[in-house]
Structure 1
Amino acid sequence: MNINKGKEWWMGASHFQMELANIAKCLLLGVVILWIQIHGNKGCFEEERLALLDFKAFVGSNGFDADYILPSWIDDPTSNCCQWERVMCNSTTGHVIELSLNNTQQYDMESFRESYSFYHDENIWYVNLSMFQQLKELKTLNLSYNHFYCSIDDQGCERLSKLKKLEVLDLTSNRFNNIILSSLGALISLKTLILSDNRMEGSFPIQGFERLEKLDISWNRFNKSILSSLGALTSLNTLILNHMYDTMNGSFPIQELKNLKNLTLLDISGNSFNGTLSFKEFSTFKRLETLNLEGNAFTGSIPEGLCGLNDLQHLDLSYNEFGGTLPQCLGNLTSLTFLDLSENHLTGRLPSFWPPNLQYVDLSHNHLEDVFSFNYSSLEVIGLSGNKITFENGWIPSFQLRALIMQDCGLGRRFPYWLLQNNGGLEILNLMNNSFTGQLEIGAKMLPNTTYLNLARNHFEGDLLFSAGDDCKLIALDLSHNNFSGEVPERLLSNCISLGYLRLSHNNFHGQIALFNLTRIDDLDLNDNQFQGILSSLFTNFSHQSYGPKVLHLSNNRLHGEIPHWIGNFTGLGYLNLRDNLFQGQIPCQLLSTRIEYLDLSYNSFSGLLPSCFNGSSLQQINLQGNRFSGSIPEALLNISTLNLLDLSDNELSGTILNKSDENLSGLLVLLLRGNHFNGFIPNWLCHLNDVNLLDLSRNSFSGSIPHCLYNLSFAREGEGNLYNLTFSDTVFKWEIEYGGRSETYFDNRVYFDAEVDEESEFVTKYRAHTYKNKALNLMSGLDLSDNNLTGEIPDEFGVLFQIHALNLSHNQLTGSIPRSFSNLSQIESLDLSYNILSGQIPVELIDLNFLEVFSVAHNNLSGRIPDMKEQFSTFESKSYEGNPFLCGTQVRRKCHDDNDEPSPSQMESPKSPQEAHGNWYKIDREIFLASFSVTFIIFFLSVITILYVNSYWQERLIYRTRQYLFSYYYFLYDNLVK
């Protein structure tokens, strides 16, 4: 008994000693931790500091200023890397745990996506990821937006697998391919993996990724079969599969993801899924908070089963083909704050009951019809554009909106002033293209916080009564396409100092306008009004500043004077349109030293020589039509490699066109030189304009033969070319909305203010001068060499211009026959060969030109039978053939000779070919013909001699023309015999 008690005492004492030792250890550890927290770590670890410096050296080796990008990363042992930018360390251990090395090439992030292409190889950085292997405690690594690429050959990718504690990896917008996936699968602690915008395709291996909670593989080319693999990653709560470059198509196999019961966010937007959706499968996702199906082609109605997702906060079904009525049960989604059903085919009325916590609702561009009666205090954004919505009489809203977008709704004639009075927090108001009439009167207190106001395309009239307060916050104002008159209110131009976009175009405003304090203006559009004055008065406070608008559109007004030299101070100016005003003088070189891309000075009174100071760095389109420029085309103008449109038509330019390099204007799409005094031969370098759509050299004095090499011109294969891609003019505004404890920024094309950049050119086809604008310029193609002194035959090679729509060779001195190869011009709509000296027959094969609308061979020496009145030839009138006395057929009411001959038996047995049948249709007595011809010639000759004797003017014209023909004949002999 005593022995047992002794054993128990001894065991208890031993246990007490062990507990006491553990307590002592804990106290000691606590003291150490407390000491570290008080004194802190004195610096990062040397091996980690050197690893970071290796990355800085890598940035510098690729031609970038590493000291500018990473200024605090100093190669100094005393420098604590935990205090460097883009680096975060554990405050206790001093190890690097987070690296934010995104966008080390310093891209403009808003344009980054536009420059990205799945197959684009520019600016790729080969990166050896082994430089990060020393950061063993790293938990977060952000390498997004860098164009990085790595290879498995030198273990550059494989070494990334050494980061065993890495939890978050962001490789967005790089050039990694599937090679890196095997290394990523070895990251045993990885929970968040973002691979958006890379070059991955095919399948996705799930081995090693079982612990993933968030996976973003959007903007790659993975195929639909990966869904069955992803369904095995049961820890996922976020899955983003949007924009897979059309590799995700057909029906959406939602059943493949049924095991992802923890999913809170599913995004498959921007794909090509179609068919109907059975939302019974969605019942698996009880925790789903965000569902984004935007930009697919789903059809059918929105099933009520969707209403069972009680935790749903964000639902986006926009840009699909859903139809039917809106489910009334949407009101049961009490957690829903964001609802976007825009751009579908929904019909019927609006639900009578909405989710009580809804902050954002967009039903734009459906077929809904109802009375506007939303009345929820939480609503901040409402979009109902493109529906038939009216306002309820006497309705008083209880909400405080931040954005109301209701364009194209037919809201009635009365403007809803009550909406402005009860919504002082309104930031965005877009009521464009409704039917409002009368005078618009906006007081200073109606829009205290409004930044974007669009009331364009209504029927407002009279003076604009706009009283902007002293604290006006407007950034964008569009009142275009109304009937406003009078002068622009001075307070609008003096108080709204933040105004960056102002469009007052297509009204009847008049008088002088001065921008006063609007020194932040980016886009100014005043075209199609009756404004007067000079540019210096318009930009009162701009003349000595190195800024100014990016877009300046002042066409169709009554502005006059010269372009001031100080406009060269507008360093951001990209678009200048002064078309159809009263400007005069010359083009200042200071203007051409800016970054201007689009220059339209057409239909003014500019004169003198064209400037020789075109720098050619950025100009894409130049339109100087309808002025009085003289002299020759300067060489500098023909050396602008970025140019795609050049219109110098209807001026007084002269001389020969300079022979130049074939490469400088290789991207030119439109070249219009008609209506000048150019002479000499058509230069051969025009044959190298491989992308040209329109080439017009008409109404000049070009001589010699038509260059055979012009068949090399493509003449606008439809859809190619980039005439209207002037991206600098796009102004898309954004706003931020907070809901559900998070903040999101929305870019919305319903709050879109473009600068109405019109690229237009005039081209004569089908006997009329047509003005082609914007996309129509890419679709139209034509060659016009009419009204010159061209000789020789029409090149047979022109038959390969398969895409050309209009060909005009009229009013020249062309000889020979009409090429039979013209039957290959399958897209031709207008073919004019009139007023030449063409002979032979009209090829019967031209009947196959199914799109031919205008055809003329009038006033030539053609003979034979006109092709039968079939297909398009049945629509051409007799004037298409007049002036050809030897043509016959019903079109000219002249019987062909073989129509009256009775066929002999031999002829019936062996019918003649069309050529034989037409070849001897006329039989004229030789003696009678010679006698009549001689008498006619003598009378004509004596008449001409008499006129020349009594009229000195015609004597001079005859001598001038004779000299021209002699020179032409001399150069013809020189080119073809001497050379």
Structure 2
Amino acid sequence: MDIAAYFNPISRPILHLLLLLFLASSCLNSSTSVKSACMEEERRALLSFKQDLTDPSGRLSSWVGHKCCRWRGISCSNRTGHVAKLDLRNPFRPIPNNLFVDVEWNLTEYKESCLGGKLNPSLLGLKHLSYLDLSHNYFKGIHIPNFIGQLTNLRYLNLSTYLWDDSYVEEIPSSLGNLSNLNYLDLSHKADHSFMTSNVFSNNLNWLSHLSSLKYLSLGGVNLNSTGVSWVNDVNMLPSLLELHLSHCGINANLLPLSTSHLINLTSLSVLDMSRNGFNPSFPKWIFNLTSLKKLDLRANFFTGSFPYDIARLKSLEYLDLSVSYLEGQLPNFMGNMCKLKSLILNNNRFDGGIQEFLSGFSNCSRLESLDLSGCGIVSTLPNSLGMLKSLQHLDLSFNSFWGTISDSTIGNLSSLKILRLNSNHFNGSIPESLGQLSQLVYLHLYGNSWEGSLTEAHFKNLSRLESFLVSTDQPMPIIFMVTNYKWIPPFKLRLILMNNCRVGPAFPVWLQSQTEVSHVELTNAGISGAIPKEWLFHISSHIISLIFSGNNITGKLPFLFNSFPKLQCIDFSVNQIDGPVQLSSTNAPMLRLLSLTHNYLNGTIPSSICSIQFLQVLDLSNNQLSGKFPQEWGLWSYIQAVYVSNNNLSGNIPTSMGVPTNIAILSMDNNYFSGEIPSTLQNCSSLTFLYLGGNQFTGSLPFWIGSQVFKLRVLQLRSNLLSGHIPQHLCNLPYLQILDLGHNNFSGTIPKCLINLTSLVYDRNSWINYYAAGYFYPRPMTVTSKGTELKYIGNDARFLNIIDLSSNNLEGEIPEKISNLLRLNTLNLSRNQLSGNIPSKIGNLHLLETLDLSQNKLSGHIPQSLSSLTFLSHLNLSQNNLIGRIPLGSQLQTLDDSSIYEGNPSLCGFPLSTKCPEDGDGMPPSPIEDINKDHEDNNENLVFYAIFVLGFVIGFWGVCGTLILKKSWRYAYFQFFDNIKDNVALVIALKVARYRREV
């Protein structure tokens, strides 16, 4: 019976509605049931899979119970209820190293979030699996097992990862060719060293030909060197391919096809990434046949020559990256004809100009949104034609040689700009106010120029979206941040602030206190006085990463350390007026990497709690008033790389635990009151590069481990201690050593002849590098004794210093002759010893020598004539020896006319001494300057004489001969005159002869 018969016609629509609601409810319940239910066989397969995994971060903690479709990373089909998707990709990604992020710490978090262990074949129980993503985990050993090739329903497979372990070696299995339904395949491996291919490889790619449905293929980082050119034919068998990523695969010029007919099947290819290979020098011409390309990435391929003009054939191109390719010549002016081009990245090439012509090419049909010409060596003013690029959102002209002022119209017309980088150029004048009109601006980087004038509210009027603002000037006068309204609140909420040599003080600015979302603050030499408001520190404490206020007049007792800063990595309050004790522990800043409080007024002891900051890499407490012993808990630091506590009042022995953190590269503890022997545990620090222990009270001999266990030292400074014994031979086993300072100790014995083995002093190894720690460039001021005084060098300025200072010891014997082979030496100080014998005859080989001090020894013999060839010599001291003979003369030595250089050598003579040499005869010999002046006068007289003689000869000769040549009648008369004279002479001679014969 029809149930509708019980209802009248009016109620039938209601019945239909009720039925629809019932069916919808049933479907919803069924769907919910399917989503939460789980096939028992598949549930057991997933649990078996989990059992063989390691999960340090607990990402699989939800894998309990029977409702596996609700487990994290699991998705089931709404229609069948089978597990269709397994997404266990690592949500954490390593961030590339930059100014504010430490790669090592970032990598630590990445490792902790990785799934590990092995892949159980129980996955084969998921027979309906179509999506598998295990990317960015780390299954050491066999990462891609053969059984993956049996999951034939897969359409999506992502096994990409980030490798940090060079021991990881794997060949991609050919069984993946069985996955004929794949649309997406990502097997990329990013190695820890970005310019080296990983140990993941493939000997051939012929299995790719079976994946005819593949639309996306990424083999980035997979070493394809063994495939030869066959990889081209294998890839060419994928007619549906839309994206091909072969970055960093070791495909050099020998593995590229020569014919332009290759890859003709890839007519649909829209994305091609072959960056970071080795195409040098050839540009692959077959790429120009891929006319459907929208994105082409060929960066870092070491191309040479000019820009490839055939690129213009790729009319569909929207994205082009040819950065770091060593291209040179003119910037291409045809790019404007590529009307679909939106992003052009050409940074770090060598273009010699033509910026005006280049920009004019975009005047007709420009859709350009991103332009990166950073680091291209462009020397130019900023052309007004830049304002034509109305669609531009990202403009990077940093690290060039742009100069001059910037007009308001040039920048003000780029109303779509979101990123503007003009840093590290030579711009001068005032910063244009038109920047305040760029309402879309997010990043504004202006640092590293020669700006003048001031910044006002007008510069930020409409910048409501600004997040990153970086500005600095290298002018002596800082930029003045003039805010007419002291209580002005800017329209933006910055995340990154860098204002160096930009006066925002003296009071802590109100506008800065309004920036409560900031994560990076750097205000150096900003003229800020007084204490930092605690309220502002409290607001930013939860997300601040770096806090840099060096070179100000900030006072107080470290109030900023009383808060808790869970993400803080850098604290730099150097060169301020902070006093009181150091109060810091892991509870204040557990993630701290760099702490610099140098040049303040800190007192008290260094608390042991500072050693509880596990990730600390750089500690600088130098130039304060700290006292007491160094904490014994040194060994708690696992990542420490640089420690600076010099110029304090610290005392006691160096803790023996110091050798436990073996990563330490810089140890600076000079000018304190440390005593005892230098601990032998430092031999465990194989990376030790800079060692400063001078100005203390260390005793004992030179440690045996220097040169036998530690080889990387570039600076060894142990001056002004109580060290004794001989200078050991193993000290010569330091090939990178550039500064050896053992002065003012009690060393005895002879100078080792093996110093010639210090090869960095023999030839330029270019071994001095900037020191980076915790993601920050940290230049360590270095004080050295050179040119007779203490000189301070900062950072990279010290890389050309090459010094040997063995002064004020008890060394004896001769100066080794081979010391003249240390051709890179700038300073040689052997004064105040008991050295005897002659000065090495070839001392003049040290052509870079600026300082030579051999005073107060027992040297004898003549001063070598080769000393006069030292053209850079500016400080010389040979006093208080037994030298004899004439002082050599030379252009550089004559400028050193101080007689005290040679005093205490009674047998020396000649300039600049008043003592004459015996061969000069009676009377005082003229000084070299007088001799030179006399020689100049004589030379001038001779020059005048020869000039008059030559001029007279020319006038006389050509006055006669020239006239005879030009005037014919005179020439006839002249020769007739001489003919007559000849006839008369002949007649006279004939008469004389005749007379003589008659008389005979």
After TM superposition, list the pairs within 5 Å mapping 1:218-233 onto structure 2: 218-223=220-225, 225-233=229-237
| Residue type of the alignment partner of 2:448 | N
1:481 equivalent in structure 2: 501
Matched, 1:438 2:460: no
Quick check: 1:57 aligned with 2:67? no
Give yes or no for contact 2:256–2:284 (8 Å, CA) kept in 1.
no
Match of 2:184 in 1: 192
Alignment of 1:268-667 (within 5 A): 268-275=274-281, 277=283, 281-346=286-351, 347-348=353-354, 349=356, 350-351=359-360, 352-353=362-363, 355-366=365-376, 367=378, 369=381, 370-375=383-388, 378-385=391-398, 386=400, 387=402, 391=406, 397=413, 399-408=415-424, 413-420=429-436, 422-442=437-457, 445-457=461-473, 460-462=478-480, 464-465=482-483, 469=489, 472-482=492-502, 484=503, 486-514=505-533, 516-517=535-536, 518-519=540-541, 520-529=543-552, 531-537=553-559, 539=560, 543-547=562-566, 549-564=568-583, 569-594=588-613, 595-614=615-634, 615-637=636-658, 639-653=660-674, 655-657=675-677, 659-661=679-681, 663-667=683-687
Q: Are 1:674 and 2:694 counterparts?
A: yes
Q: Does 1:263 align with 2:269?
A: yes
Partner of 1:947: none
**Quick one: which amino acid aligns to residue 217 of structure 2?**
L
Identity across matched positions, percent: 26
Partner Cα distance (2:608, 2:809) in 1: 39
Give the equivalent residue in structure 2 for 1:244.
Answer: 249
- CA gap 1:426/1:219 in 2 versus in 1, 3 angstroms: same
Within a 5 Å distance, the mapping from 1:76-225 to structure 2 comes to 76=65, 79-103=66-90, 108=94, 127-128=118-119, 130-150=121-141, 157-173=145-161, 179-197=171-189, 198-201=198-201, 203-210=203-210, 211=212, 212-223=214-225, 225=229
Amino acid at match of 1:673: L
TM-score (norm 2): 0.71
Counterpart in 1 of 2:722? 701
Contact 1:528 1:556 (8 Å CA) reproduced? yes
What code does the residue aligned with 2:60 have? L
Distance in 2 (CA, whole Å) between partners of 1:476 and 1:151 is 43
Q: Distance in 2 between matches of 1:470 and 1:825?
A: 60
Contact 2:56 2:115 in 1 (8 A): no
Question: 2:771 matched to 1:724?
Answer: yes
Q: Deviations over 1:944-964 (max 9, x none)?
A: xxxxxxxxxxxxxxxxxxxxx
Q: CA offset at residue 353 of structure 1?
A: 1.3
CA distance in 2, matches of 1:35, 1:534: 66
Distance 1:462 1:242 in 2: 47
Q: For residues 488 and 312 of structure 1, do their structure 2 counterparts lie closer, same or farther at Cα, with a shift above 3 Å needed?
A: farther
The residue matched to 1:493 in structure 2 has which SS? Answer: helix
The Cα offsets for residues 751-782 of structure 1, whole Å up to 9 and x where unpaired, read as xxxxx5323433335645454544567x578x
User: For the structure 1 residues 408 and 665, does the alpha-carbon distance in structure 2 shift closer, same or farther, using more than 3 Å as the test?
Assistant: closer
Distance 1:43 1:567, change over 3 A: closer
Deviation at 1:299, TM superposition (A): 3.7
Task: Flag the 1:780–1:57 CA change in 2: closer, same or farther, 3 A.
Answer: farther
Distance 1:101 1:875, change over 3 A: closer
Q: Which moved more, 1:809-818 or 1:384-393?
A: 384-393
Distance 1:220 1:143 in 2: 17
Q: Note the C-alpha offset of 1:609.
A: 3.4
* Residue 810 of structure 2 corresponds to residue 813 of structure 1: yes
- Please name the residue that 1:26 is paired with: none
The Cα shift of 1:205 comes to 2.2
For 1:970, the equivalent position in structure 2 comes to none
Find the aligned partners of 1:380 and 1:237 in 2 and give their Cα distance: 27
Name the amino acid aligned to 1:883.
Answer: Q
1:505 Cα deviation from its structure 2 partner: 1.0
Structure 2 counterpart of 1:535, one-letter code: K
**Matching residue of 1:869:** 866
Q: Is the contact between residue 505 and residue 528 of structure 2 (CA under 8 Å) also seen in structure 1?
A: yes
The 3-state SS of whatever aligns with 1:710 is helix
Partner of 2:830: 833
Deviations 1:692-739 (A, max 9, x none): 22111111222333344433444446577987231344xxxxxxxxxx
Q: Following the alignment from structure 1 to structure 2, what is the Cα–Cα distance between the partners of residues 878 and 337? A: 61
Q: Assess if the C-alpha contact under 8 Å between 2:172 and 2:200 holds in 1.
A: no
Aligned to 2:38: 44
Contact 2:208–2:235 (Cα < 8 Å) also in 1: no
- Structure 1: how far apart are the matches of 2:671 and 2:632? 20
Structure 2 CA distance for aligned equivalents of residues 773 and 874 of structure 1:
26
In structure 1, how many angstroms separate the alpha carbons of the residues matched to 2:790 and 2:257? 52
Q: Match for residue 792 of structure 1?
A: none
Residue 289 of structure 1: CA displacement?
0.8
| Structure 1 unaligned blocks of 5 or more | 1-31, 730-755, 782-804, 894-920, 923-979
State the shift of 1:324 in Å. Answer: 4.5
Shift of 1:230: 4.1
Q: Which runs of 5+ in 2 are unaligned?
A: 1-25, 190-197, 738-759, 891-906, 909-1000
Report deviation, 1:495.
1.0
Note the C-alpha offset of 1:285: 1.3
Deviation digits for residues 122-170 of structure 1 (CA, Å, limit 9, x no counterpart) = 9996635633222232222222222335559xxx833222122222222
For 1:857, the equivalent position in structure 2 comes to 854
Going from structure 1 to structure 2, the CA distance change for 1:843 and 1:436 (only over 3 Å counts) comes to closer
Change (3 A) 1:825 1:450: same
Partner secondary structure for residue 149 of structure 2: helix
Cα distance in 1, alignment partners of residues 545 and 390 from structure 2: 36
* Contact 2:654/2:679 (<8 A) preserved: no
Q: Which amino acid aligns with 1:578?
A: L
Structure 1 47/663 Cα, relative in aligned 2: closer, same or farther at 3 Å? farther
Q: Which moved more, 1:495-504 or 1:369-378?
A: 369-378
Task: Write the deviation string for residues 560-614 of structure 1: whole angstroms up to 9, x where unpaired.
Answer: 3333457962223221222223333322333333243212222222233334343
Distance in 2 of aligned mates of 1:414 and 1:775: 30
Matches of 1:714 and 1:603, distance apart in 2: 31
Could you tell me how far apart the structure 2 residues matched to 1:611 and 1:113 are? Answer: 26
Could you tell me the TM-score, scaled by structure 1's length? 0.72
In the TM superposition, what whole-angstrom CA distance separates every residue of 1:609-668 from its partner, at most 9, and x where no partner exists?
334343333332121222222333343445543322121212233x32254336443332
Mapped partners of 1:225, 1:586: distance in 2: 67
Q: CA offset at residue 412 of structure 1? A: 5.0
Q: Partner amino acid for 2:433?
A: Y
* AA at the equivalent of 1:812: N
CA 262–472 in structure 1, closer or farther in 2 if over 3 Å, else same: closer
How many residues align structurally? 792
Check conservation: 2:545, 2:570, Cα contact below 8 A: yes
Q: 1:448 to 1:39 in 2, by over 3 A?
A: closer
Rounded Cα–Cα distance in structure 2 between residues aligned with 1:861 and 1:94? 97
Q: Secondary structure at the match of 2:296?
A: strand
Matches of residues 776-815 of structure 1 in structure 2 within 5 Å? 805-815=802-812
SS in 2 for 1:209: helix
Question: Alignment partner of 1:478: what SS?
Answer: strand
